[in-house]
Amino acid sequence: MEGKQAEDKKFKEWEQGEDAKFKGWGWCLLVLLIGAMVAAAAGLTVLKGFNHFKKSSGHHGAINKKYADVLELALQFFDVQKSGKLEKNRIPWRGDSGLQDGWQQGLDLSKGMYDAVNQLGYAQESLKWIIDYLINAHPSPDVLYIQVGDPDVDHNCWQRPETMTEKRPLLQVNTSFPGTDVAAETAAAMASASLVFKKINSSYSNLLLTHAQQLFQFADTYRGSYSESIPQLQKFYNSTGYGDELLWAAAWLYHATGDKLYLKYVTEMNGEEFSNWGNPTWFSWDDKHAGGQVSYHSSQSKTYIRVYVKFCSRINMFGVEGMSTEENLELQMYRETAEAFMCMLLPDSPTATSSRTENGLIRVLKWNSLQYPVASAFLAVLFSDYMVASHIPTLYCSGKFYSPADLRSFALSQADYVLGKNPMEMSFLVGYGEDYPQYVHHRGSSIPVDAKTGCGDGFEWLDSLS
């Protein structure tokens, strides 16, 4: 207990010294969901195809082993969170769990992830694990199961998933209780995953596209927020809207299929209503505007870069053959908003955001706070590579010019801060570096494997070493 108190004190001292504006903020480990798993697999695909990218774009530089090692370590998080009959288990204190999930509806929902050194091959295996769960959770075109378990009950228990005995109810969205946001997000995940498997398992890739297209049709036809359809979810993951998810899904489907109807969907059909042009917002689990804007902006390049979410083979900087003037103007609006977001991230830009600590970490909200700097860093790298590939030397920000190197410098500053280059000299990635959090708020890792606990008596290990 003394160790836990010492760690809490250390974090509190850092918090007070770093930025008084955010008093009361406590550290937490990110709960990474479907999009993160797709990003990890896509990121490793990037590493595999990086030499081709360097040759074709003139962007040179060896892969940094430090970040490759970090990526490999971070991927273990998905092993830690797995549900179901575990295969090739790399975590000795994890075992099979949730094997009966979905049985009451005749479904196998045992796989998936709990809330809370062939890297490429392993990332693809982990991605397939969660995508298999999504396939099973979508048994018919207009039905999607979105939750297994009761969050109120789960939050009142402290036990390993392997020993759960509580009831595991299912929640679904359907035509009577729509969930446009979650259905469209799932469609985006499946469409993006189809690209990962396109060359290594074409039949599986085609299956994912079928599910993605059905889910998008369902999401768009029966519009409504899942947290309004199922109010008990609002205190856990309350959705602020669904327009951004519809655009996000359509963008991925356009990239996966090449069907211009999806491009038309994000421009003249729904761009003005859903895109939030001219108002950059933070990229997060609930808001996909920034990701979509960078993707649509990148889609205007002549150069095709296979390893990123780009639509460059079909769209150029100044328009697309066969597109209407309105569609091209709306793509330009996406471009301007994406550029405004990049300018907001650069610390010495005239329009730089004030949502950062004294030492430069993007800091928006106190809960799941690291999702914002990490997501922003990813988009900055994506935008930087787009500029290099498109031979665009500078980004204009209200009187100042910035290079792709400036965007990469920002991205590295965020990653390095998280990995220990901060006033505490502590890594926020568990297992990385010499000093990292030891008292992790995690049921499975805090309770000994051989402990016999029920729902409530496991709380004695709440503050134990993980």
Q: What is d(CA 447, CA 160) in angstroms, rounded to the nearest whole number? A: 7
| Residue entry with tokens 């519009």 | 223
Is residue 143 classed as helix, strand or coil in its secondary structure?
strand
| Residue entry with tokens 């999504």 | 134
441 flagged as catalytic = yes
The token duo for 364 is: 């928006």
Q: What DSSP element (H or E) covers 170? A: strand 170-173
From residue 357, give the alpha-carbon distance in Å to each of 3, 43, 421: 27, 27, 13
Sign of CA dihedral 412, 415, 418, 420: negative
Q: What is d(CA 254, CA 269) in angstroms, rounded to the nearest whole number? A: 14
Q: What is the DSSP string of 81-117?
A: TB-BS-SS---TT---B-TTTTGGGT-----SB----
Select which of 297, 391, 441, 442 is catalytic: 441
Closest CA to 197 of 215, 209, 184, 212: 209
Q: Is the distance from CB of 113 to CB of 140 less than 8 angstroms?
A: no
φ, ψ of residue 309 to 5 degrees: the values are -80, 80
Cβ neighbours for 81, distance < 8 A, ≥ 6 positions apart: 32, 113, 114, 116
Looking at the DSSP assignment, which residues form a beta bridge with residue 86?
none
Cβ neighbours for 346, distance < 8 A, ≥ 6 positions apart: 352, 397, 402, 406, 407, 410
Q: Is the distance from CB of 205 to CB of 212 less than 8 angstroms?
A: no
Q: What is d(CA 315, CA 46) in angstroms, rounded to the nearest whole number? A: 22
Strand ranges inside 195-321, DSSP E: none
| Residue entry with tokens 């965020």 | 414
Catalytically active residues, by annotation: 441
